[in-house]
Structure 1
Amino acid sequence: MTACQPAGFEATWDVASAIPGWLTEDQARLLFDTAQELPERPLIVEIGSHQGKSTVVLATAARALQGRVVAVDPFVEGRLFGGVTTRTKFERNVAETGLADTVELVADYSTRARPGWTRGIDYLYIDGKHDYWTLTDDLKWAAHLPVGAPILVHDCYSSIGVTLGVLAHVLPSRRLRYERRAGSMALFRVGAPSVADRWRILQEVPWWLRNVAVKVLLRLRLRPLARRLFGHESPYDPY
Protein backbone atom coordinates (compact mmCIF):
# COMPACT_ATOMS: atom_id res chain seq x y z
CA MET A 1 0.00 0.00 0.00
CA THR A 2 1.37 3.43 -0.93
CA ALA A 3 0.27 6.92 0.00
CA CYS A 4 -1.36 7.48 -3.39
CA GLN A 5 -3.31 4.25 -3.64
CA PRO A 6 -6.76 4.03 -2.03
CA ALA A 7 -7.27 0.67 -0.36
CA GLY A 8 -10.30 -1.44 0.43
CA PHE A 9 -10.75 -3.10 3.78
CA GLU A 10 -9.11 -6.41 2.84
CA ALA A 11 -5.90 -4.71 1.69
CA THR A 12 -5.96 -2.47 4.74
CA TRP A 13 -6.38 -5.40 7.12
CA ASP A 14 -3.55 -7.30 5.43
CA VAL A 15 -1.28 -4.48 6.59
CA ALA A 16 -2.86 -3.65 9.94
CA SER A 17 -3.21 -7.25 11.12
CA ALA A 18 0.59 -7.56 11.23
CA ILE A 19 0.76 -4.80 13.87
CA PRO A 20 0.43 -6.00 17.49
CA GLY A 21 -2.72 -4.89 19.27
CA TRP A 22 -6.12 -5.86 20.63
CA LEU A 23 -8.26 -5.33 17.56
CA THR A 24 -10.15 -8.12 15.82
CA GLU A 25 -10.88 -8.22 12.11
CA ASP A 26 -14.59 -7.60 12.69
CA GLN A 27 -13.80 -4.60 14.86
CA ALA A 28 -11.37 -3.22 12.30
CA ARG A 29 -14.03 -3.59 9.62
CA LEU A 30 -16.49 -1.64 11.76
CA LEU A 31 -13.93 1.14 12.22
CA PHE A 32 -13.13 1.21 8.52
CA ASP A 33 -16.68 1.02 7.18
CA THR A 34 -17.94 3.69 9.57
CA ALA A 35 -15.08 6.00 8.60
CA GLN A 36 -15.87 5.55 4.92
CA GLU A 37 -19.32 7.03 5.53
CA LEU A 38 -17.84 10.37 6.62
CA PRO A 39 -17.98 13.58 4.55
CA GLU A 40 -14.95 14.84 2.62
CA ARG A 41 -11.90 15.93 4.62
CA PRO A 42 -12.99 14.42 7.93
CA LEU A 43 -11.11 14.82 11.18
CA ILE A 44 -10.94 11.61 13.19
CA VAL A 45 -9.79 11.58 16.80
CA GLU A 46 -8.43 8.32 18.14
CA ILE A 47 -7.87 8.04 21.89
CA GLY A 48 -5.40 5.25 22.55
CA SER A 49 -3.18 4.18 19.66
CA HIS A 50 -0.63 1.70 21.10
CA GLN A 51 1.48 0.51 18.15
CA GLY A 52 -0.88 1.88 15.50
CA LYS A 53 -3.06 -1.07 14.52
CA SER A 54 -6.34 0.86 14.64
CA THR A 55 -4.57 4.05 13.53
CA VAL A 56 -3.59 2.45 10.24
CA VAL A 57 -7.17 1.28 9.66
CA LEU A 58 -8.64 4.71 10.38
CA ALA A 59 -5.97 6.66 8.52
CA THR A 60 -6.34 4.54 5.39
CA ALA A 61 -10.07 5.27 5.32
CA ALA A 62 -9.47 8.95 6.12
CA ARG A 63 -6.83 9.38 3.43
CA ALA A 64 -9.27 8.26 0.74
CA LEU A 65 -11.48 11.19 1.84
CA GLN A 66 -8.54 13.61 2.14
CA GLY A 67 -9.01 13.56 5.89
CA ARG A 68 -6.76 13.25 8.93
CA VAL A 69 -6.46 11.21 12.09
CA VAL A 70 -5.37 12.78 15.36
CA ALA A 71 -3.89 10.00 17.50
CA VAL A 72 -3.95 10.84 21.22
CA ASP A 73 -1.76 8.61 23.36
CA PRO A 74 0.64 9.44 26.23
CA PHE A 75 2.65 6.23 25.68
CA VAL A 76 2.99 5.56 29.39
CA GLU A 77 5.63 3.21 30.70
CA GLY A 78 4.65 -0.25 31.83
CA ARG A 79 4.50 -3.89 30.78
CA LEU A 80 1.33 -3.54 28.70
CA PHE A 81 2.04 -0.15 27.14
CA GLY A 82 5.79 0.08 26.69
CA GLY A 83 6.30 3.85 26.89
CA VAL A 84 8.93 5.27 24.55
CA THR A 85 9.48 1.90 22.89
CA THR A 86 5.80 1.70 21.91
CA ARG A 87 5.84 5.26 20.58
CA THR A 88 8.82 4.38 18.39
CA LYS A 89 6.96 1.35 17.03
CA PHE A 90 3.83 3.45 16.47
CA GLU A 91 5.74 6.07 14.47
CA ARG A 92 7.54 3.39 12.48
CA ASN A 93 4.33 1.53 11.64
CA VAL A 94 2.59 4.71 10.51
CA ALA A 95 5.59 5.72 8.39
CA GLU A 96 6.03 2.29 6.81
CA THR A 97 2.40 2.25 5.66
CA GLY A 98 2.81 5.63 3.98
CA LEU A 99 0.36 7.33 6.31
CA ALA A 100 2.62 9.80 8.11
CA ASP A 101 1.08 12.75 6.29
CA THR A 102 -2.41 11.63 7.37
CA VAL A 103 -1.70 11.06 11.07
CA GLU A 104 -1.10 13.77 13.66
CA LEU A 105 0.25 12.52 16.98
CA VAL A 106 -0.73 14.19 20.25
CA ALA A 107 1.52 12.47 22.78
CA ASP A 108 -0.51 13.35 25.85
CA TYR A 109 -3.27 12.07 28.08
CA SER A 110 -6.70 12.54 26.51
CA THR A 111 -7.92 14.14 29.73
CA ARG A 112 -5.21 16.80 29.40
CA ALA A 113 -5.67 17.37 25.69
CA ARG A 114 -9.46 17.72 25.79
CA PRO A 115 -9.93 20.97 27.80
CA GLY A 116 -7.91 23.01 25.30
CA TRP A 117 -9.33 21.35 22.19
CA THR A 118 -11.17 23.71 19.82
CA ARG A 119 -11.36 21.88 16.48
CA GLY A 120 -14.48 20.22 15.14
CA ILE A 121 -14.43 16.42 14.97
CA ASP A 122 -16.24 14.09 12.58
CA TYR A 123 -15.46 10.75 14.23
CA LEU A 124 -14.37 9.71 17.72
CA TYR A 125 -12.74 6.40 18.61
CA ILE A 126 -12.19 5.74 22.33
CA ASP A 127 -9.70 3.06 23.34
CA GLY A 128 -7.80 4.79 26.12
CA LYS A 129 -7.45 4.00 29.79
CA HIS A 130 -10.26 1.61 30.68
CA ASP A 131 -11.43 3.05 33.96
CA TYR A 132 -14.71 4.75 34.81
CA TRP A 133 -13.26 8.22 35.32
CA THR A 134 -11.20 8.35 32.12
CA LEU A 135 -14.04 6.96 30.00
CA THR A 136 -16.36 9.55 31.53
CA ASP A 137 -13.97 12.32 30.52
CA ASP A 138 -13.32 10.85 27.07
CA LEU A 139 -17.04 10.92 26.32
CA LYS A 140 -16.87 14.71 26.71
CA TRP A 141 -14.99 14.89 23.39
CA ALA A 142 -18.43 14.26 21.86
CA ALA A 143 -19.18 17.96 22.39
CA HIS A 144 -17.10 18.59 19.25
CA LEU A 145 -19.10 16.18 17.08
CA PRO A 146 -22.10 17.01 14.86
CA VAL A 147 -25.40 15.15 14.97
CA GLY A 148 -25.08 11.74 13.35
CA ALA A 149 -21.33 11.47 13.93
CA PRO A 150 -20.02 8.09 15.12
CA ILE A 151 -18.44 7.36 18.48
CA LEU A 152 -16.81 3.95 18.75
CA VAL A 153 -15.77 2.55 22.12
CA HIS A 154 -13.44 -0.44 22.38
CA ASP A 155 -13.83 -2.91 25.26
CA CYS A 156 -17.24 -1.36 25.86
CA TYR A 157 -18.77 -4.61 27.07
CA SER A 158 -15.73 -6.33 28.53
CA SER A 159 -14.13 -3.70 30.79
CA ILE A 160 -15.84 -3.02 34.11
CA GLY A 161 -14.89 0.65 34.17
CA VAL A 162 -15.91 1.31 30.57
CA THR A 163 -19.25 -0.47 30.87
CA LEU A 164 -20.10 1.28 34.13
CA GLY A 165 -19.27 4.58 32.46
CA VAL A 166 -21.57 3.78 29.55
CA LEU A 167 -24.39 2.76 31.89
CA ALA A 168 -23.96 5.92 33.95
CA HIS A 169 -23.48 8.46 31.16
CA VAL A 170 -24.71 7.04 27.84
CA LEU A 171 -27.77 5.10 28.95
CA PRO A 172 -29.49 8.22 30.40
CA SER A 173 -28.02 10.60 27.81
CA ARG A 174 -30.29 12.67 25.61
CA ARG A 175 -27.56 13.13 23.00
CA LEU A 176 -26.01 9.68 22.42
CA ARG A 177 -27.67 6.60 21.02
CA TYR A 178 -26.44 3.01 20.74
CA GLU A 179 -26.40 1.37 17.32
CA ARG A 180 -24.54 -1.96 17.35
CA ARG A 181 -21.30 -3.73 18.29
CA ALA A 182 -18.55 -5.94 16.90
CA GLY A 183 -17.36 -8.06 19.80
CA SER A 184 -16.79 -5.63 22.63
CA MET A 185 -16.49 -2.60 20.34
CA ALA A 186 -19.67 -0.54 20.43
CA LEU A 187 -20.88 2.01 17.89
CA PHE A 188 -22.79 5.00 19.21
CA ARG A 189 -23.93 8.07 17.32
CA VAL A 190 -24.63 11.63 18.31
CA GLY A 191 -28.40 12.00 18.34
CA ALA A 192 -31.49 11.75 20.52
CA PRO A 193 -31.93 8.12 21.60
CA SER A 194 -35.19 6.22 21.46
CA VAL A 195 -36.45 3.83 24.11
CA ALA A 196 -35.29 0.99 21.84
CA ASP A 197 -31.76 2.48 21.72
CA ARG A 198 -31.59 2.52 25.51
CA TRP A 199 -33.02 -0.99 25.75
CA ARG A 200 -30.32 -2.31 23.40
CA ILE A 201 -27.67 -1.11 25.85
CA LEU A 202 -29.35 -2.95 28.71
CA GLN A 203 -29.59 -6.10 26.61
CA GLU A 204 -25.77 -6.19 26.46
CA VAL A 205 -25.41 -6.36 30.26
CA PRO A 206 -25.67 -10.19 30.49
CA TRP A 207 -22.93 -10.53 27.86
CA TRP A 208 -20.79 -8.05 29.79
CA LEU A 209 -21.28 -10.02 33.01
CA ARG A 210 -20.26 -13.16 31.16
CA ASN A 211 -17.05 -11.44 30.03
CA VAL A 212 -16.28 -10.25 33.56
CA ALA A 213 -16.72 -13.82 34.83
CA VAL A 214 -14.33 -15.07 32.14
CA LYS A 215 -11.75 -12.49 33.19
CA VAL A 216 -12.01 -13.55 36.82
CA LEU A 217 -11.51 -17.21 35.90
CA LEU A 218 -8.49 -16.35 33.75
CA ARG A 219 -6.96 -14.35 36.61
CA LEU A 220 -7.46 -17.38 38.85
CA ARG A 221 -5.75 -19.54 36.21
CA LEU A 222 -8.95 -21.50 35.65
CA ARG A 223 -8.96 -21.37 31.87
CA PRO A 224 -10.43 -24.90 31.53
CA LEU A 225 -13.39 -23.78 33.63
CA ALA A 226 -13.81 -20.66 31.48
CA ARG A 227 -13.85 -22.91 28.45
CA ARG A 228 -16.34 -25.33 29.94
CA LEU A 229 -18.72 -22.76 31.41
CA PHE A 230 -18.54 -20.01 28.80
CA GLY A 231 -16.93 -21.50 25.70
CA HIS A 232 -13.97 -19.13 25.98
CA GLU A 233 -11.06 -20.79 24.18
CA SER A 234 -8.49 -17.98 24.20
CA PRO A 235 -5.89 -17.48 26.97
CA TYR A 236 -6.58 -13.74 26.60
CA ASP A 237 -9.41 -11.61 27.96
CA PRO A 238 -12.55 -11.38 25.81
CA TYR A 239 -12.52 -8.23 23.73
Structure 2
Amino acid sequence: MQHRAAPGFQAAWEVADRIPGWLTEAQARLLWETAEEVPDGGLLLEIGSHQGRSTVVLGALARERDARVVAVDPFVDGRLFGGRPTREKFERHLAEAGLTPTVELLADYSTRARPSWSRPLDHLYIDGKHDYWTLSDDLRWTRHLRDRGPVLVHDCFSSIGVTLGILVHVLFSGRLRYERRAGSLALFRVGRPSLRDRARILGELPWWIRNVAVKVLLRLRLRPVARVLFGHRGPYDPY
Protein backbone atom coordinates (compact mmCIF):
# COMPACT_ATOMS: atom_id res chain seq x y z
CA MET A 1 0.00 0.00 0.00
CA GLN A 2 1.31 3.45 -0.92
CA HIS A 3 2.11 5.69 2.03
CA ARG A 4 0.94 9.29 2.04
CA ALA A 5 3.80 11.73 2.48
CA ALA A 6 4.39 12.69 6.11
CA PRO A 7 5.08 16.37 6.89
CA GLY A 8 8.62 15.56 7.94
CA PHE A 9 10.68 14.78 10.98
CA GLN A 10 11.83 18.31 11.71
CA ALA A 11 8.33 19.65 12.28
CA ALA A 12 7.60 16.84 14.74
CA TRP A 13 10.91 17.31 16.52
CA GLU A 14 10.35 21.03 17.01
CA VAL A 15 7.24 20.14 19.03
CA ALA A 16 8.78 17.19 20.88
CA ASP A 17 11.97 19.03 21.79
CA ARG A 18 9.97 21.45 23.96
CA ILE A 19 8.90 18.53 26.17
CA PRO A 20 11.25 17.55 29.03
CA GLY A 21 12.90 14.16 28.60
CA TRP A 22 16.06 12.29 27.63
CA LEU A 23 15.45 11.46 23.98
CA THR A 24 18.06 13.10 21.75
CA GLU A 25 17.39 14.41 18.26
CA ALA A 26 19.38 11.55 16.69
CA GLN A 27 17.35 9.03 18.67
CA ALA A 28 14.09 10.72 17.73
CA ARG A 29 15.13 10.54 14.08
CA LEU A 30 15.75 6.79 14.41
CA LEU A 31 12.28 6.38 15.94
CA TRP A 32 10.82 8.37 13.07
CA GLU A 33 12.66 6.44 10.35
CA THR A 34 11.54 3.07 11.70
CA ALA A 35 7.98 4.32 12.24
CA GLU A 36 7.89 5.25 8.55
CA GLU A 37 7.79 1.50 7.86
CA VAL A 38 4.43 1.17 9.62
CA PRO A 39 1.59 0.51 7.14
CA ASP A 40 -1.50 2.69 6.94
CA GLY A 41 -3.77 1.78 9.84
CA GLY A 42 -0.91 0.11 11.72
CA LEU A 43 -0.23 -0.02 15.44
CA LEU A 44 2.82 1.23 17.36
CA LEU A 45 3.40 0.41 21.01
CA GLU A 46 5.53 2.52 23.34
CA ILE A 47 6.54 1.26 26.79
CA GLY A 48 7.42 4.19 29.04
CA SER A 49 6.09 7.60 27.98
CA HIS A 50 6.95 10.04 30.80
CA GLN A 51 5.84 13.49 29.58
CA GLY A 52 5.42 12.43 25.96
CA ARG A 53 8.64 13.50 24.25
CA SER A 54 8.98 10.29 22.24
CA THR A 55 5.20 9.81 22.06
CA VAL A 56 4.84 13.04 20.09
CA VAL A 57 7.46 11.90 17.56
CA LEU A 58 5.75 8.55 17.03
CA GLY A 59 2.28 10.07 17.13
CA ALA A 60 3.05 12.74 14.54
CA LEU A 61 3.96 10.12 11.97
CA ALA A 62 1.17 7.75 13.01
CA ARG A 63 -1.40 10.50 12.47
CA GLU A 64 -0.34 10.79 8.83
CA ARG A 65 -0.77 7.04 8.34
CA ASP A 66 -4.13 6.74 10.10
CA ALA A 67 -2.16 4.54 12.49
CA ARG A 68 -2.36 4.51 16.27
CA VAL A 69 0.13 4.62 19.12
CA VAL A 70 -0.56 2.78 22.36
CA ALA A 71 1.44 4.40 25.18
CA VAL A 72 1.95 2.06 28.14
CA ASP A 73 2.90 3.82 31.37
CA PRO A 74 1.53 3.31 34.90
CA PHE A 75 2.48 6.86 35.99
CA VAL A 76 3.50 5.62 39.41
CA ASP A 77 3.32 8.12 42.27
CA GLY A 78 6.60 9.14 43.86
CA ARG A 79 9.51 11.50 43.42
CA LEU A 80 11.18 9.51 40.64
CA PHE A 81 8.23 9.13 38.25
CA GLY A 82 5.88 11.94 39.21
CA GLY A 83 2.58 10.04 39.23
CA ARG A 84 -0.57 12.03 38.50
CA PRO A 85 1.23 15.36 37.78
CA THR A 86 3.38 13.65 35.14
CA ARG A 87 0.33 12.04 33.56
CA GLU A 88 -1.38 15.42 33.38
CA LYS A 89 1.67 16.88 31.62
CA PHE A 90 1.73 13.92 29.23
CA GLU A 91 -1.94 14.41 28.33
CA ARG A 92 -1.50 18.18 27.98
CA HIS A 93 1.50 17.76 25.66
CA LEU A 94 -0.45 15.37 23.45
CA ALA A 95 -3.39 17.77 23.31
CA GLU A 96 -1.12 20.72 22.42
CA ALA A 97 0.37 18.63 19.60
CA GLY A 98 -3.09 17.64 18.37
CA LEU A 99 -2.35 13.98 18.98
CA THR A 100 -4.99 13.01 21.55
CA PRO A 101 -7.09 11.13 18.94
CA THR A 102 -4.00 9.27 17.69
CA VAL A 103 -2.52 8.09 21.02
CA GLU A 104 -4.24 5.60 23.30
CA LEU A 105 -2.96 5.65 26.87
CA LEU A 106 -2.79 2.31 28.64
CA ALA A 107 -2.10 3.38 32.22
CA ASP A 108 -0.70 0.12 33.51
CA TYR A 109 2.57 -1.72 34.05
CA SER A 110 3.82 -3.25 30.80
CA THR A 111 4.40 -6.54 32.59
CA ARG A 112 0.79 -6.61 33.75
CA ALA A 113 -0.69 -5.53 30.42
CA ARG A 114 1.29 -7.97 28.27
CA PRO A 115 -0.26 -11.36 29.18
CA SER A 116 -3.73 -10.35 27.97
CA TRP A 117 -2.56 -8.44 24.88
CA SER A 118 -3.69 -9.91 21.54
CA ARG A 119 -3.44 -7.10 18.94
CA PRO A 120 -0.72 -7.38 16.26
CA LEU A 121 1.99 -4.71 16.38
CA ASP A 122 3.99 -3.01 13.64
CA HIS A 123 6.52 -1.12 15.79
CA LEU A 124 7.75 -1.58 19.37
CA TYR A 125 9.62 1.00 21.45
CA ILE A 126 10.86 -0.10 24.90
CA ASP A 127 11.81 2.57 27.41
CA GLY A 128 10.24 1.24 30.59
CA LYS A 129 11.75 0.30 33.91
CA HIS A 130 15.46 -0.32 33.41
CA ASP A 131 15.95 -3.43 35.52
CA TYR A 132 16.82 -6.86 34.14
CA TRP A 133 13.49 -8.49 35.03
CA THR A 134 11.26 -5.82 33.49
CA LEU A 135 13.32 -5.58 30.31
CA SER A 136 13.25 -9.38 30.02
CA ASP A 137 9.47 -9.34 30.19
CA ASP A 138 9.14 -6.36 27.85
CA LEU A 139 11.05 -8.26 25.17
CA ARG A 140 8.19 -10.76 25.15
CA TRP A 141 6.02 -8.14 23.46
CA THR A 142 8.01 -8.89 20.29
CA ARG A 143 5.90 -12.01 19.69
CA HIS A 144 3.17 -9.66 18.42
CA LEU A 145 5.43 -8.16 15.72
CA ARG A 146 5.61 -9.21 12.09
CA ASP A 147 8.84 -10.50 10.54
CA ARG A 148 11.45 -7.71 10.29
CA GLY A 149 9.33 -5.58 12.61
CA PRO A 150 11.44 -2.93 14.41
CA VAL A 151 12.19 -3.21 18.13
CA LEU A 152 13.85 -0.15 19.66
CA VAL A 153 15.33 -0.27 23.16
CA HIS A 154 16.35 2.93 24.91
CA ASP A 155 19.34 2.94 27.30
CA CYS A 156 20.28 -0.38 25.73
CA PHE A 157 24.03 0.06 26.24
CA SER A 158 24.00 2.49 29.15
CA SER A 159 22.02 0.56 31.78
CA ILE A 160 23.30 -2.50 33.60
CA GLY A 161 19.87 -4.14 33.85
CA VAL A 162 18.91 -3.48 30.24
CA THR A 163 22.25 -4.58 28.81
CA LEU A 164 22.24 -7.79 30.85
CA GLY A 165 18.73 -8.50 29.60
CA ILE A 166 19.91 -8.04 26.00
CA LEU A 167 22.92 -10.31 26.55
CA VAL A 168 20.81 -13.08 28.08
CA HIS A 169 17.70 -12.89 25.91
CA VAL A 170 18.91 -11.50 22.57
CA LEU A 171 22.58 -12.42 22.09
CA PHE A 172 21.79 -16.15 22.09
CA SER A 173 18.25 -15.84 20.78
CA GLY A 174 17.17 -16.95 17.33
CA ARG A 175 14.50 -14.28 17.07
CA LEU A 176 16.05 -10.78 17.13
CA ARG A 177 18.80 -9.23 15.01
CA TYR A 178 20.80 -6.21 16.14
CA GLU A 179 21.07 -3.56 13.45
CA ARG A 180 22.44 -0.25 14.81
CA ARG A 181 22.09 2.40 17.49
CA ALA A 182 21.77 6.16 17.99
CA GLY A 183 23.48 6.84 21.31
CA SER A 184 21.95 4.35 23.70
CA LEU A 185 18.84 3.74 21.55
CA ALA A 186 19.36 0.39 19.85
CA LEU A 187 17.45 -0.97 16.86
CA PHE A 188 16.70 -4.67 16.62
CA ARG A 189 14.50 -6.47 14.11
CA VAL A 190 12.45 -9.63 14.32
CA GLY A 191 14.35 -12.23 12.36
CA ARG A 192 16.99 -14.92 12.61
CA PRO A 193 20.34 -13.35 13.55
CA SER A 194 23.63 -14.16 11.85
CA LEU A 195 26.96 -14.52 13.62
CA ARG A 196 27.75 -11.00 12.45
CA ASP A 197 24.56 -9.68 14.11
CA ARG A 198 25.61 -11.29 17.39
CA ALA A 199 29.14 -9.97 17.06
CA ARG A 200 27.79 -6.43 16.69
CA ILE A 201 26.14 -6.74 20.11
CA LEU A 202 29.43 -7.86 21.67
CA GLY A 203 31.16 -4.99 19.91
CA GLU A 204 29.08 -2.52 21.91
CA LEU A 205 30.24 -3.86 25.28
CA PRO A 206 33.29 -1.54 25.61
CA TRP A 207 30.98 1.43 25.11
CA TRP A 208 28.61 0.02 27.73
CA ILE A 209 31.47 -0.41 30.21
CA ARG A 210 32.50 3.19 29.56
CA ASN A 211 28.95 4.37 30.28
CA VAL A 212 28.73 2.39 33.52
CA ALA A 213 32.05 3.89 34.63
CA VAL A 214 30.70 7.39 33.91
CA LYS A 215 27.61 6.66 35.99
CA VAL A 216 29.74 5.51 38.93
CA LEU A 217 31.83 8.68 38.76
CA LEU A 218 28.72 10.86 38.64
CA ARG A 219 27.29 9.08 41.69
CA LEU A 220 30.58 9.77 43.48
CA ARG A 221 30.28 13.44 42.44
CA LEU A 222 33.45 13.15 40.36
CA ARG A 223 32.13 14.84 37.22
CA PRO A 224 35.51 16.45 36.42
CA VAL A 225 37.08 12.98 36.40
CA ALA A 226 34.35 11.72 34.06
CA ARG A 227 35.09 14.64 31.76
CA VAL A 228 38.84 14.06 31.72
CA LEU A 229 38.75 10.27 31.41
CA PHE A 230 35.73 9.79 29.18
CA GLY A 231 34.86 13.18 27.69
CA HIS A 232 31.48 13.20 29.45
CA ARG A 233 30.59 16.85 30.02
CA GLY A 234 26.98 16.90 31.21
CA PRO A 235 25.57 16.37 34.71
CA TYR A 236 23.30 13.54 33.56
CA ASP A 237 23.91 9.86 32.93
CA PRO A 238 24.93 8.98 29.35
CA TYR A 239 21.90 8.13 27.26
TM over 0.5: yes
Q: Tell me the equivalent position of 1:184.
A: 184
Q: Tell me the equivalent position of 1:123.
A: 123
Supply the distance in 1 between the matched residues of 2:42 and 2:32 (Cα, whole angstroms).
Answer: 13
For residues 5-44 of structure 1, the aligned pairs below 5 Å read: 6-44=6-44
Asked whether 1:112 is paired with 2:112, we answer yes
Q: Tell me the equivalent position of 1:213.
A: 213
Supply the distance in 1 between the matched residues of 2:130 and 2:59 (Cα, whole angstroms).
Answer: 23
Letter in 1 for 2:161: G
Report how far residue 6 of structure 1 moved. Answer: 4.5
Asked whether 1:164 is paired with 2:164, we answer yes
Q: Tell me the equivalent position of 2:143.
A: 143
Supply the distance in 2 between the matched residues of 1:40 and 1:174 (Cα, whole angstroms).
Answer: 29
Asked whether 1:134 is paired with 2:149, we answer no
Report how far residue 63 of structure 1 moved. Answer: 1.2
Supply the distance in 2 between the matched residues of 1:214 and 1:52 (Cα, whole angstroms).
Answer: 27
Supply the distance in 2 between the matched residues of 1:235 and 1:108 (Cα, whole angstroms).
Answer: 31
Deviations 1:178-197 (A, max 9, x none): 00000000000000000000
Supply the distance in 1 between the matched residues of 2:89 and 2:45 (Cα, whole angstroms).
Answer: 20
Deviations 1:163-217 (A, max 9, x none): 0000000000101000000000000000000000000000000000000000000
Q: Tell me the equivalent position of 2:231.
A: 231
Supply the distance in 2 between the matched residues of 1:160 and 1:6 (Cα, whole angstroms).
Answer: 37
Letter in 1 for 2:158: S
Aligned residue for 1:212, secondary structure, equals helix
Count of aligned pairs: 235
Aligned residue for 1:210, secondary structure, equals helix
Q: Tell me the equivalent position of 1:46.
A: 46
Supply the distance in 2 between the matched residues of 1:79 and 1:14 (Cα, whole angstroms).
Answer: 28
Supply the distance in 1 between the matched residues of 2:39 and 2:70 (Cα, whole angstroms).
Answer: 17
Aligned residue for 1:143, secondary structure, equals helix
Supply the distance in 2 between the matched residues of 1:78 and 1:118 (Cα, whole angstroms).
Answer: 31
Report how far residue 7 of structure 1 moved. Answer: 2.5
For residues 198-209 of structure 1, the aligned pairs below 5 Å read: 198-209=198-209
TM-score (norm 1): 0.97
Q: Tell me the equivalent position of 1:96.
A: 96
Identity %: 71
Supply the distance in 1 between the matched residues of 2:57 and 2:212 (Cα, whole angstroms).
Answer: 28
Supply the distance in 1 between the matched residues of 2:170 and 2:81 (Cα, whole angstroms).
Answer: 28
For residues 67-106 of structure 1, the aligned pairs below 5 Å read: 67-106=67-106
Letter in 2 for 1:209: I
TM-score (norm 2): 0.97
Deviations 1:17-61 (A, max 9, x none): 000011000000000111012222110000000000000000111
Letter in 2 for 1:101: P
Q: Tell me the equivalent position of 1:66.
A: 66
Report how far residue 118 of structure 1 moved. Answer: 0.6
Superposed structure 1 runs of 4+ greater than 3 Å apart:
none
Supply the distance in 2 between the matched residues of 1:142 and 1:63 (Cα, whole angstroms).
Answer: 23
Supply the distance in 1 between the matched residues of 2:65 and 2:197 (Cα, whole angstroms).
Answer: 30
